[in-house]
A and B are shown apart, each in its own frame.
Chain A
């Protein structure tokens, strides 16, 4: 089957396009140094333990609200790779981020399966959606020090790809492994289970009853384990989040909504979904509201809102045109569309306590897949339409593709910006005028010093030397 697919010139060209576009993106991602916040501490902790078993045992109790044992074990494994290979810490840790990016792109291509020329044209619209949507950038920017949200994205997409094919004996096993892996790095790993359920509900043939039952048992076991270990879920006030036109600190949120959180939780869930579908709000804050009050709106907000809203309108058109038929009449593309939409809708519920773009990052991947299906349907319909309707549809897709391509280019700019600020963060580590704050432990000091030297030693682009207009068009 793969051989057949590879013989198609459309498939080959899609791979070439994806490769060409991903290469500089991988370079931009690789330029971001290892982060100080969220990354240095787990690396140091992982290095100080004598054994992985002891680290695994203790890491369970590191936080009262999170259960992420693989976070530290992965860092420890990467440290071992660094030692074994003689590579720099940057090469190993950031290299893994690049590998995850490549895996996401490869899985996206496997999910959309470009086979003919109309597929290829649909791909050229959907691929920039994948890269340009704000949740994808947020996912790329994460590091704990391994990018857990990207790992969840890879696992969830992996499940979708498995679901699109014939059921095989190993699918339940692979799905359970992917779920267990995701859940052990971050709570959003539950999206893998959600994906299994959504694929089964949509009738994708690769997910059978055994897979549903097996993954549900794993997920129930995970919840039980959290309960036994006394790990609770974070409540209102655990993180800052937006409401209306401003961002609130954790303390402010607890004070304002702590006693009656239901309304705020509904706001968050609907806001999370709206953020994906219409690019507003961001982190719970409606920039349009702020812009309306100030009488000034940044082009980036308009570009994002227009492109996302137009894209969402396309998905609604597809759903209205194709899904009212009986479920048994749905095509494979219909089922993929339904599974993807169901997954990104359920993903919004993960924002109940606070909104973060990263939380919606799996949803962003599914949104791009649903876009491919819808654009493909528009292209299929063109020969049957009147000249005026076909012209309108073509213009719509060209404008849509242009907006999303522009947003995708902006990812480079924002990664440059992130590289600059992250590198600057290292200036505050091991400051010469604050010797008393330096680590006392020799191993910790040496490790910190080396990672700092690598970060400072890698030159980054200063935003001051990038085009002035870019901020208004790419940074919210």
Chain B
């Protein structure tokens, strides 16, 4: 008969573990420490805003861990590039609304990046016509592995 209680007892033990972990500052699935670029790459827009309001520079490149934007290696890129690379139009808009600056050179980089990671929302924000051709010769993708 007691075997029936097994799953619930396991849940209770796990719950006790999670509570103890929480009291120790960790617990079940705690919030991760992310960079601004990582926040942009994972649609964590509220975290991006929190970081900017805490003083983070929205134009400063920061690292994005392996697996979020590129498979097999970490990259260091600007938050807006991370948003475009992750096809997150809402993240890009959040960054632009909260002080991220995009000059003409950066705009070209972003438009070329969008060519490889298509997203209609991002394209609209970057002011690119669906049919327009963009000259991306000589533009290095920010997602390329650093040499």
Interface residue B126 (Cβ < 8 Å from any Cβ of A):
no
Q: How far is the CB of A130 from chain B (nearest CB, A)?
A: 11
Q: Mark A117-140, 1 if CB is under 8 A from B, else 0.
A: 110110111011000000000000
| B3 located at the interface, meaning its Cβ lies under 8 Å from any Cβ of chain A in the complex | yes
State whether B8 touches A128 (Cβ < 8 A). yes
8 Å CB interface, A433-471 against B: 433-434, 455-457, 459-462, 464-466
Interface size, B (range): 35 or more
**Contact partner, A21, options B11, B31, B53, B94, Cβ 8 Å:** B11
> B1 contacts A379, CB within 8 Å?
yes
Judge whether A309 is part of the interface by a CB distance below 8 angstroms: no
**Smallest CB-CB A-B distances: 6 pairs:** A124-B8, A459-B31, A464-B42, A405-B7, A124-B5, A433-B97
- What is the bound-complex CA distance between A28 and B11, given in angstroms? 15
Cα A207 to Cα B15 in complex, Å, equals 37
A427 and B31 form a contact (CB under 8 A): no
Whether a CB of chain B sits under 8 angstroms from the CB of A27 is yes
B8 adjacent to A20 (CB under 8 Å): no
Do residues B19 and A456 form an inter-chain contact, with CB atoms below 8 A? no
Contact indicator per residue, chain A 408-420, by CB within 8 Å of chain B (1) or not (0): 1100110010001
List the B side residues contacting A457 at CB < 8 Å: 50
A71 close to chain B: CB less than 8 A: no
Max chain A CB contacts within 10 Å: which of B5, B47, B68? B5
Binds B, one of A152-160, A233-241, A260-268, A393-401: A393-401
- Residues of chain B in range 70-111 having any CB-CB distance to chain A below 8 Å: 94, 96-99
B35 within 8 A of A: no
| Closest beta carbon of chain A to B18's beta carbon, Å | 4
Q: Which residues of B contact A23 (CB under 8 A)?
A: 15, 19
Whether A121 and B4, one on each chain, are in contact in the complex, defined by CB atoms closer than 8 angstroms, is yes
* Minimum C-beta distance from A436 to chain B (A): 13
Residues of chain B within 8 A (CB-CB) of A382 are: 1
Nearest neighbor of B6 in chain A, beta-carbon distance: A398
Q: Given contacts A21-B12, A23-B15, A461-B30, is CB(A455)–CB(B4) below 8 Å?
A: no
Decide if A24 touches B98 in the complex (CB within 8 Å): no
Flag whether A426 is at the interface (Cβ < 8 A): yes
In Å, the complex CA distance between A423 and B16 comes to 27
Q: Which of B6, B34, B98 contacts A462 (CB 8 A)?
A: B34
A-facing mask of B25-61, CB < 8 A → 1, else 0? 0011111101000000111111101100100000000
The contact of A121 among B1, B11, B15, B42, by CB within 8 Å, is B1
Residue A431 at the chain B interface, CB threshold 8 Å: yes
Report whether A456 and B50 are in contact in the complex, using a CB–CB cutoff of 8 Å.
yes
Whether the pair B28, A412 counts as a contact (CB closer than 8 A) is yes
B9 on interface, CB distance cutoff 8 Å: yes
Q: How far is the CB of B68 from chain A (nearest CB, A)?
A: 7
Q: Is A432 an interface residue (CB 8 A)?
A: yes
CB within 8 A of A27: which of B8, B16, B27? B27
User: Quick check: B19 and A427 within 8 Å, CB to CB?
Assistant: no
Tell me, rounded to whole Å, the shortest Cβ–Cβ distance linking A184 to chain B.
Answer: 34
B46/A423 in contact, CB under 8 A = yes
A3 CB, nearest partner CB in chain B, Å:
25
Chain B residue, CB-CB nearest to A470: B29
Question: What is the bound-complex CA distance between A25 and B28, given in angstroms?
Answer: 10
Residue of B nearest to A23 (CB): B19
Residue of B at shortest CB range from A27?
A: B22
11 A-B pairs in the complex with CB atoms less than 8 angstroms apart: A24-B19, A27-B22, A123-B8, A128-B7, A423-B46, A424-B43, A427-B45, A427-B94, A456-B53, A464-B43, A465-B42
Residues of A within 8 A of B6 (CB): 398, 401-402
Q: Closest chain A residue to B16 by CB distance?
A: A20
Tell whether, in the assembled complex, residue B29 and residue A412 are in contact, meaning their CB atoms are under 8 Å apart: yes
Known: A124-B8, A128-B8. A461 touches B1 (CB 8 A): no
Docked CA distance A466–B13 (Å): 21
A17 at the interface (CB under 8 A from B): yes
Given A121-B2, A409-B11, are A433 and B19 neighbors across the interface (CB < 8 Å)? Answer: no
B10 at interface by CB-CB < 8 Å: yes
Residues on A with C-beta less than 8 A from B29 are 412-413, 416, 461, 465-466
A405 and B22 within 8 A (CB): no
Q: Are the C-beta atoms of A24 and B7 separated by less than 8 Å?
A: no
Contact B7 A402 (CB under 8 A): yes
Alpha-carbon distance A423/B49, docked complex (angstroms): 11
Closest B residue to A459 by beta carbon equals B31
Contacting pair A21 B15 (CB below 8 A): yes
Asked if B32 and A461 sit within 8 Å, CB to CB, the answer is yes
In the assembled complex, the Cα of A426 lies from the Cα of B98 at a distance in Å of: 14
B10 contacts which chain A residues (CB < 8 A)? 405
In the complex with contacts A20-B15, A27-B22, A432-B98, A401-B44 CB distance below 8 A: no
* Docked complex Cα distance between A182 and B97 (Å): 43
Q: CA separation between A409 and B29, bound complex, in Å?
A: 12
Contact of A464 among B4, B13, B28, B44 (CB under 8 A): B44
Chain A residues near B13: list those with CB within 8 A.
20
